[in-house]
Amino acid sequence: MSQDLRSTPVARSSAHATQFAGAHETLARMHHSAPLAHLCDALDAMFEACAKFPEPSDSTFFARSMRVALAEAAANPELLTSAQREGSTEKYRRHLLAADPHGRYAVAALVWLPQQASPVHAHHTWCGYAVIEGTLSETVFEWNGAQHCASATRTQARNPGAVSFVRGGRGGIHRLGNCSDAPAVSLHIYGVAGAQIATHVNDIVRATEAPALV
């Protein structure tokens, strides 16, 4: 019988972590807390409101509503379980929290231990994130089509409550990392099915020089 992923546990992680695209994907038993269920309801309503758009993320309403939904969910201490805040000493760790049964979005928590960082990347799809705990450092890059590489333009601290939303394409190249001495946790929503997080989100690009995490 078909089951709604937002209200039904779907899987437990195996004893060993499964590696995807520079991060551990933990398909833990879905924990649909009230804040997470509320977030999924908000996302469903956003898609319904933007049904007339061939690509919902092109709508200003969609982008604005996504930022509001991210900020509200990230501010709720009951959003994540303790297990969903666990990191990995190897690489930053990604916990899949919810996957839309229609494949429109996936919600994940990323846990960053000190000195862990993503590669420099753009996005194949829209995505948004909010910082839940700790501080992340975000370096923004500009794409040079002639040289086929990206160059850093600025770096900024992203503290709890910071929210970002970008549409797909190389107009939104960045790198996230944790340069502090304490773990950091962020909430991410991607415009892909849960099974496609590893392959259909990050567009890893070459950079002339990626500043060190300091």
Q: Kindly report the CATH number assigned to the domain that includes residue 50.
A: 2.60.120.10
In the block, which residue shows the tokens 């700790």?
A: 134
Let me know if residue 27 belongs to a domain: yes
Would 104 be classed as within a structural domain?
yes
Determine, yes or no, domain membership for 9: no
* 121 falls within a domain: yes
188 annotated as a binding-site residue: no
Q: Of 50, 5, 60, whose CA–CA distance to 30 is shortest?
A: 5
What is the helix (H) or strand (E) element at residue 156, kind and residue range?
A: strand 149-158
How many domains, the chain? 1
* 5 within some domain: no
Q: Is 24 annotated as a binding residue?
A: no
Distance from C-alpha of 40 to C-alpha of 32, rounded to nearest angstrom: 10
Least confident of 32-36, 134-138, 152-156, 167-171: 32-36
- Is 32 flagged in the annotation as binding? no
CA–CA separation, 88 and 92 (whole Å)? 6
pLDDT band at 124; cut points 50, 70, 90: very high
Inside any domain, residue 213? no
pTM given for the model: 0.85
Least confident of 10-14, 190-194, 208-212: 10-14
Element (DSSP H or E) covering residue 132: strand 127-133
Q: How many whole angstroms from its chain centre is CA 181?
A: 22
The domain containing residue 127 runs over which residues?
A: 22-204
pLDDT at site 211: 72
Q: Looking at the domain assignment, is residue 182 inside a domain?
A: yes
